[in-house]
Amino acid sequence: GKQLLLEVGCGLGNSAFPLLRANPNLFAFCMDLSPKAVSILRHSPEYDPQRMYAFVGDARDPLPAFVPPQFDFMTLIFTMSAMDPEHWAAISQRLSERLRPGGGLLYYRDYAVGDYMPEEQQREQVGDGMWLRKDGTLVKYATPEEMRRLFGTGGADLQEVELTQLEWEAVNHKEG
């Protein structure tokens, strides 16, 4: 049977399209706050209404009635950091209730405390883990412990498969 994916904060489909190519039995519901992003996604040559449905939606609100009650997979990729942290617990709880019991998989990836940001995005700290970017947007950098509280025993009660904080060092080698 068909497997269902909910991509929260789908943007232009950069995650949905590869997942659909990799799994012919997958149908994706792609939600984004930006009507422009959803429009661009719908007009992509890869957009197939037989395999995906893109719609405008806000993760802070209940999901629309046309969205299925349960999903096999969900993605939250660079989504939570763009939202006010006061909404995180409600979002994680609401989404976890839509994962298929006993086997649904949530893929979460986001900025974390200690992340390197390119110079064009340099920022100023304005609160606990909150930063103001040069473009005027606020972003929250979470710790692995905060994510465990949200999606683990303190929040959505999901079983942690893997939570990894990637670390790397950028070295600028002068060419001679």
* Residue 170 maps to a domain: no
* Residue 141 maps to a domain: yes
* Residue 157 maps to a domain: no
* Residue 167 maps to a domain: no
88 or 39, greater pLDDT: 39
* Residue 176 maps to a domain: no
pLDDT band at 81 (very low <50, low <70, confident <90, very high): confident
Domain count, the chain: 1
Q: Please tell me the predicted confidence (pLDDT) of residue 12.
A: 95
* Residue 161 maps to a domain: no
**Tokens standing for residue 110:** 């986001």
**Tokens standing for residue 175:** 């060419």
* Residue 45 maps to a domain: yes
In sequence order, which residues have a C-beta less than 8 Å from that of residue 66 and are 6 or more positions away? none
Average pLDDT in the chain = 82
Out of 1-15, 63-77, 88-102, which region has the weakest mean confidence (pLDDT)? 88-102
Domain that holds residue 23: 3-60+69-151
**What phi and psi values does residue 19 have, to the nearest 5 degrees?**
-65, -40
**CATH number for the domain harbouring residue 86:** 3.40.50.150
* Residue 105 maps to a domain: yes
Tell whether pTM > 0.85.
no
**pLDDT per position as a tens digit, 118-158:** 444 556 777 777 777 777 777 777 777 877 777 764 445 55
Q: Please tell me the predicted confidence (pLDDT) of residue 132.
A: 78
pLDDT band at 171 (very low <50, low <70, confident <90, very high): low
**Amino acid present at 39:** S
**Strand-pair category, 138-140 with 130-133:** antiparallel
Which of 76, 105, 77 is closest to 91 using CA atoms? 76
